[in-house]
């Protein structure tokens, strides 16, 4: 899905995950707190990256290991505000959720994904560590998961996945109830005009 703007594409592999970044194409991103997965977990190299992502996301949702800094309302609010701040500057924001130990984000990048993620993660790590009195400690895991959105049906599926994530794991009864999500109604947030068109 592209927005009609010129499309720049970058593909590379880093660690286990393949990455394909494309300016002007809807992109699903997930990143997590440092140490938020059990240290002894292992995914076979034969498992496709999409299945490995689902397995990883289930572990994150279970909250079985590592820090849950984003469960703190002040930290979650700061991350949420940083996501909104970059809307229409670095990307067009479609959907997001800030879970206790990870973040899902659906955007159409207006600049290189590596640049906008570096900026977003650097700022939120510095502020999160400051708020928690952990200055100098790793906050985010280095690598993020990303997926280019192929079509409108996949786009809709990802929006549902993101906004229903807090409900699925029992953090809220409805998507709109969860405070750190794009599903929560906000008076000044564009509701329709930021959706991509095929």
Of the chain, the percentage scoring pLDDT greater than 70 comes to 82
Is residue 197 in some structural domain?
no
- Render the burial of 88-124: b for 16+ CB within 10 Å, e for the rest: eebbbbbbbbbbbbbbbbbbbbbeebeebbeebbeeb
Look at residue 23 and give its three-state secondary structure: strand
Is residue 22 in some structural domain?
yes
In terms of residue numbers, what domain contains 134?
Answer: 8-177
pLDDT score, position 8: 54
Number of domains in the chain: 1
pTM score: 0.82
pLDDT digits (tens, 9 = 90+) for 52-73: 777 778 878 888 788 999 999 9
- What are the C-alpha distances in Å from 176 to residues 43, 46, 167? 34, 38, 10
Tokens representing 139 are: 């906050």
Is residue 77 in some structural domain?
yes
For residues 80-92, give the mean pLDDT.
97
Is residue 76 in some structural domain?
yes
CATH number of the domain that 77 lies in? 3.30.70.1290
pLDDT score, position 130: 95
More confident residue, 41 or 175: 175
pLDDT score, position 20: 63
Is residue 183 in some structural domain?
no
Is residue 101 in some structural domain?
yes
Is residue 193 in some structural domain?
no
Is residue 17 in some structural domain?
yes
């Amino acid at each position: 899905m592209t927005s009609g703007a010129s499309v720049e594409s970058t593909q590379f592999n880093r660690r286990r995950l393949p990455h394909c970044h494309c300016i002007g194409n809807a992109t699903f991103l997930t990143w997590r707190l440092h140490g938020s997965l059990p240290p002894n977990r292992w995914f076979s190299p034969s498992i496709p990256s999409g299945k490995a992502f689902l397995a990883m996301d289930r572990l994150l949702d279970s909250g079985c290991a590592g820090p849950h800094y984003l469960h703190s309302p002040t930290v979650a609010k700061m991350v949420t505000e940083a996501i909104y701040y970059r809307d229409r500057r670095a990307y067009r924001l479609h959907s997001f959720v800030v879970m206790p130990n990870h973040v899902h984000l659906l955007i159409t990048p207006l600049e290189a994904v590596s640049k906008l993620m570096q900026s977003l993660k650097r700022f939120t790590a510095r502020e999160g560590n400051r708020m928690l009195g952990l200055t100098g400690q790793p906050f985010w895991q280095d690598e993020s998961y990303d997926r280019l959105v192929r079509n409108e049906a996949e786009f809709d599926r990802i929006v549902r996945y993101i906004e229903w994530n807090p409900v699925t794991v029992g953090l809220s009864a409805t998507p709109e109830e969860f405070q750190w999500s794009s599903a929560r109604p906000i008076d000044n947030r564009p509701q329709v005009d930021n959706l991509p068109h095929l």
